[in-house]
Amino acid sequence: MHALIFDRFGTADVLRWDAVADPVPGPGQVLVRMEAVGLNFADVYRRNGMYHLAGPAPWILGYEGAGVVASSGGPYPIGTRIGFADMPFANAELVAVDADKLIPLPDDISCETAAAVLLQGLTAQYLVTDSFHPRPGQVALVHAAAGGVGLLLVQMLVAKGVRVIGIASSETKRDAARHAGAAVAVGYEGLVDRVSEATHGAGVDVTYDSVGRTLGESLAATRTGGTVVFYGMAAGDPDPVDPRLLMDRSLTLTGGDLWNVLTDAQVRRSRADELFAQIRSGVVVPTIAARFPLSEGAKGHVFIESRSAIGKVVMFVR
């Protein structure tokens, strides 16, 4: 088979499309012939050497994608269309996937859609069902509102009757956040003052922070008695938080990680079914920022690193 591989850390130029040995499924695994792969910033971080990589070089990136079952012995027959959100080495024509991580795709959910929404969509889903329980009439602040998670999170919050203030780094991205349903979209400069203006000094009920370095501003923008959900560090680790601040303003600071939610195959598939139902009903509309052949995956990496992507970058196996 062919895969997008690299044998040293560096810029997107280290990536190449080359022949490698077919994967051999281990116990409880099946082969999947890939059709579409989701590109995430975690792939960039691994390529740069910032995240852990298992085994010796050459390495294969990718954790999310969709295709068809290509071997027997699993819970689904050969030819079944499936997706997955958390299995390594997805940037290849064939991937060995744990059977309990297979998510069968309904007829009306394409491989492209699955690759575009599974990781970010399931993340946005737990943020509005597990980390915090938003109610109609509440106000939410969403960081990176035009990103892969952000656009889906905005839509899910609006569907619950929540007024959303989206934060994005450019006017184009702020337009995208408004198009997704954000009532107000602001930039990062003067963030706390802008949120105060938008809420008439009251602050927001909940802030979803995936940036990290902005955690202090998130706490300041949240009303007394409100909640900050910290679920990412796109700009680096946050400064330490003095617990007295939480006490003095009765704030709740909670973390979120998808892998603490997807605890078994049944939970994984039922949550995916709920996500697919929201897509089917039009509550959630995925945004594809760009499409690239997997063989030209380096171009996808350059694009996502430009920070101009609105929505999800998908790569196709051809």
Residue 224 CB contacts under 8 Å (≥ 6 apart), including other chains: 203, 249, 250, 251
Burial class (CB in 10 A: 0-12, 13-18, 19+), 192: middle
pTM (predicted TM-score): 0.94
54, pLDDT greater than 80: no
**Sequence-ordered list of residues with C-beta below 8 angstroms from that of 237, at least 6 positions apart, any chain:** 212, 213
State the Rg of the chain over Cα: 20
* Res. 37: pLDDT tops 80: yes
Which among 178, 217, 211, 224 has a CA at the least distance from the CA of 194?
A: 217
Q: What's the pLDDT tens digit per position in 279-311?
A: 999 999 999 999 999 999 999 999 999 988 899
**Once rounded to an integer, what is the mean pLDDT over residues 13-27?**
97
pLDDT at 228: 98
- In 3D space, the residue among 143, 148, 144, 68 whose CA is nearest the CA of residue 116 turns out to be 148
Quick check: 236 pLDDT over 90?
A: no
The per-residue pLDDT for 112 is 97
Q: Which domains does the chain have, with CATH numbers?
A: 2-120+263-316 (3.90.180.10), 132-255 (3.40.50.720)
Residue pair 312/85 in contact (Cβ under 8 Å)? The answer is no
Q: Is the pLDDT of residue 14 over 80?
A: yes
Write out the DSSP string of 130-142.
TS----TT-EEEE
- Residue 269: per-residue pLDDT: 98
pLDDT range class, residue 53, cuts 50, 70, 90:
confident
Q: How far is CA 292 from the centre of its chain?
A: 18
163-167, strands of its sheet edge to edge: 184-186, 163-167, 139-142, 204-209, 222-230, 252-255
Q: Is the pLDDT of residue 254 over 90?
A: yes
**pLDDT at position 307, please?**
85
Per-residue pLDDT of 134-178, as tens digits, reads 999 999 999 999 999 999 999 999 999 999 999 999 999 999 999
Is the pLDDT reported for residue 233 higher than 90? no
Q: Could you tell me the CA-to-CA distances from 245 to 139, 185, 216 in Å, in that order? A: 21, 27, 10
Average pLDDT score over the chain: 96
